[in-house]
Structure 1
Amino acid sequence: MSLFKWEHQAVDTFAALHDLSGRTAVVTGGSRGIGRAIAQALAEAGADVVIASRKQEACETAAAEIHQATGRRAVAVPCHVGRWDDCDRLIAETLDTFGRLDVFVNNAGMSPPYKSLETITEELYDKTLAVNLKGPFRLAVLAATHMAEHGGGSVINVGTAGSLVASVHELPYACAKAGLNALTVGLAEAYAPKVRVNAILPGPFLTDISRGWAPEDPDDAPFVPLGRMGRPEEVAPLAVHLASDASSFTTGAIIRVDGGVTRKV
């Protein structure tokens, strides 16, 4: 076999393994930032997608843009992931619309600012835990239960590298996301062998959330070994990989995408 033919077959095999045609994926927090990039990439790989976030208009805009760009079905489902009734409705509406659920991306999150640790209110703490851990727990369990009963699937939890090196400035958020790491490992065991559960831990990325602390020049970030901030589209290919058959022997993994910030942890 010539080298050219081998390379051509390798490319075909790689593409086939990452093909998500005929599958349905849900992305929470999918209207902007990392979630928006993941939803776009999943659709480009062939999946129909559900865009979920709190603001219906933002969901509808993202869904329309993704459909126009990829030709895949994309629907908007407003959902406050901190409320279990909304979580239940998101799963039910997905199944009513598409009749299947193959990939679930727990991406929604929030990190409300506070002046100091002693000023953190019970309301702020509870709200942070609800969106970053309580809701994702419910959603992952509902999604994985359905997948286990219908041929399998993939759950992807999007956390943060900050869960490994918790900062005093985002401690409730880091605590919740550390819980998401534990949830990933526990669910990987609970729903094996049919459902794979993995986590992605982004580091310093250019998103709406990072605007308050990101350097003026995102390509000059000396605190990052790679020297710059990350961009949402640099996380999306990993999500496609974890959603696809290319990662068929990967579960319970917690993968850092942080430019090397937590390299020594």
Structure 2
Amino acid sequence: MEFQDKVVLVTGGSRGMGKAMVEAFAARGASVVIASRKIDACETLAAAVREKHGGTALPVACNVSSWSDCDALVETVYGEFGRVDVLVNNAGLSPLYPSLDEVSEALFDKVIGVNLRGPFRLGSAIGTRMAAGDGGAIINVSSIAAIRPGAHELPYAAAKAGLNALTEGMAKAFGPTVRVNCIQAGPFRTDISLAWSEETKARFEQSLALRRCGEPEEIVGAALYFASDAASFCTGAVLRLDGGTP
């Protein structure tokens, strides 16, 4: 119960890696806030968490690309708990597009909004409150695309590179009582993987040192480490969790 009496907010928390992290923190005593665009999915997971672990789980609808939604999420969580001890900026989006010249302004803005603007706003608002209070930990979930950008994910790669930069900058801005770190994830078998072609799957399996993609639960160890006292001297770090991406 290492996170007993702690409040953990996870964006994109209703499925995939976010869901795995929500369940892991709840299993260790935390009160969890499950934030995602679809409130029904958040409520379903919150009910399951309460039944399984007997703790507090708060579902909140939030589109993190919206500045006002982020502000409303912060006010809701602080109104309910009066604090956030761990923020996990996990929500992400990487839509497919046929070619670079066919990327629309709306698609570009949407990708930047979810992957960069949301984490900036939430990290800034919550990090400031953490620093003024008892401190805390912020965990950003980035992507190997930030340093290995491909032709078919450039807006996403640019946003995640920006998230890496935010990690280091916010670590300096909110230290010494707030630690800010980043998990730079490789290919994981989440909902997004359903859109992969067989060629893409085969390429991952052949190129990665571990010869397979990650499972959502395999992000848990890194998240628990960054959130815990075990990482008390770790801030501004970007951890590659990518199966050995070349």
Gaps of 5+ in 1: 1-15
C-alpha displacement at 1:240, in angstroms? 1.1
1:126 equivalent in alignment to 2:118: no
Give the TM-score of the pair, scaled to structure 1: 0.89
For 1:250-261, list aligned pairs within 5 A: 250-261=234-245
2:123 paired residue number: 140
Match of 1:6 in 2: none
- Where has structure 1 moved over 4 Å in runs of 4 or more? 214-218
Counterpart-to-counterpart distance in 1, 2:38 and 2:172: 34
Q: Percent identity?
A: 51
How far, CA to CA, are the matches of 1:119 and 1:82 in structure 2? 22
Amino acid at match of 1:234: E
Q: Which amino acid aligns with 1:66?
A: V
Deviations 1:45-74 (CA, angstroms, capped at 9, x unpaired):
211000000001011011111222222200
Separation of aligned partners in 2, 1:119 and 1:30:
31
Corresponding residue for residue 60 of structure 2: 77
Q: Residue 215 of structure 1: CA displacement? A: 4.7
Question: Partner of 1:35 in structure 2?
Answer: 18
Rounded Cα–Cα distance in structure 2 between residues aligned with 1:29 and 1:248: 26
- More displaced 10-residue stretch of structure 1: 220-229 or 132-141: 220-229
Task: Please list the CA deviations of residues 75-115 of structure 1 after superposition, one character each: whole Å capped at 9, or x if unmatched.
Answer: 10000000011001111111111121100000001011110
CA distance in 2, matches of 1:215, 1:149: 50
Q: 2:187 aligns to what?
A: 204
Gaps of 5+ in 2: none
Maintained 8 Å contact 1:110/1:173: yes
* Counterpart-to-counterpart distance in 1, 2:197 and 2:227: 30
Q: For residues 16-65 of structure 1, what are the alpha-carbon distances to aligned partners after superposition, in whole Å with 9 as ceiling and x for unaligned?
A: 7xx11111010000000001101111111211000000001011011111
Equivalent in the alignment of 1:221: 205
1: CA distance between counterparts of 2:71 and 2:146? 27
- Tell me: CA distance 1:214–1:94, structure 2 relative to 1, closer, same or farther (3 Å): farther
Structure 1 counterpart of 2:181, one-letter code: N
Structure (1 or 2) with the larger CA radius of gyration: 1
Paired residues, number: 244
Alignment of 1:1-265 (within 5 A): 19-213=2-196, 215=198, 221-262=205-246
* Secondary structure in structure 1 of the residue aligned to 2:245: coil
Deviation larger for 39-48 or 173-182: 39-48
Across the aligned residues of Structure 1 and Structure 2, the Cα RMSD in angstroms comes to 1.5
Note the C-alpha offset of 1:135.
1.1
What letter is aligned with 1:35?
G
Which amino acid in structure 1 is aligned with residue 234 of structure 2?
A: T
Instruction: Report the TM-score when normalising by structure 2.
Output: 0.96
Amino acid at match of 1:170: E
Residue 65 of structure 2 aligns to a residue in which SS?
coil
Q: SS of the counterpart of 2:211?
A: coil
Secondary structure class of the residue paired with 1:81: coil
Paired residue type of 1:179:
G
